[in-house]
Structure 1
Amino acid sequence: MTDERVGPSSTAGEREMLRAFLDFHRATLAMKCEGLSEEQLRRRSSPPSTLSLLGLVRHMAEVERAWFRRVLDGEDIPLVWSDSGDYQVAYDAGEASRDEAFAAWEAEVARSREIERAAESLDVTGYSERWEEDVSLRMVILHLIHEYARHNGHADFLREGIDGAVGV
């Protein structure tokens, strides 16, 4: 695995630091998937669980879309892989391809970055139907950092089980 991640500056302002931590975690997920075949990316953690590296990529595409596009930008769009709003569908990557999953995830990340950069401040809000309350851009970024950090822990174990690669 090639580690080309850039860590956040320890003296950056709040927004720059949050943005950098989120990008660091995005890069970590990509790095954990680097150099693996589609079969390896689809390998399940421990059946009956459908959790796999490719499933994590698909799930994070859904998370990016839900929080940035649907909540903050107010777009009336379905999830990427589920018309019913079931986030669990993305985890099942049994028939998924690397190209499809990464294209969707990269497109959602790019759109998320556009929405974040266009926002006047971290205090900009959107309405979360799921939580039934307004949420700030600050909270959304922190929530995504939490999501990526948690799932990158899963990715560590998944990658180690595939080829023994550890660390990072």
Structure 2
Amino acid sequence: MAKKKDEKTNVMRILDQKKVPYTPHFYEEGEGPEGTREYGVHVAQALGQDPERAFKTLVAKGASGGYYVFDIPAPDSLDLKKAAKAAGEKSVELLAVKDITAVTGYVRGGCSPVGMKKAYPAIFHETALEHETIYISAGKIGAQVEVDPKALLALLRAGTADIVVPR
């Protein structure tokens, strides 16, 4: 039996359980531009969203062996040196695509900071708190949730920092 496009994801169920209000948004899965920056902007534009409010989730491994979750606006690139400093690590390296599912439980393009296999330390770009709501992946390609960043950061026990490459 085929799943309905608007079926609740685990991310939505967790937000419901934790009483964090959200608005689901769905888009057609399809070929977007290559690269996470271009794809994130493409998805935001397809949904009529401001790309600055659409946050993409990136996972990195620190020099100590620990994993970290970084959420940044779709048009931006993660500054690995700033990210390492924010995480208290000597250095961090983005996870290889082949390792994303094993570490997070999500596939590339559908990675969400909510509901990963383990609760890794999360750091959002400081601009997240400048918006009334932001968009994050709902845990699968084709779905996003719009959520209050303060409530999301509280749920994840996440911090904020300047972690992007200057434009």
TM-score interval w.r.t. the shorter chain?
under 0.3
User: Which structure has the highest strand share of the two?
Assistant: 2
TM-score normalised over the length of structure 2: 0.27
User: Which structure has the highest helix share of the two?
Assistant: 1
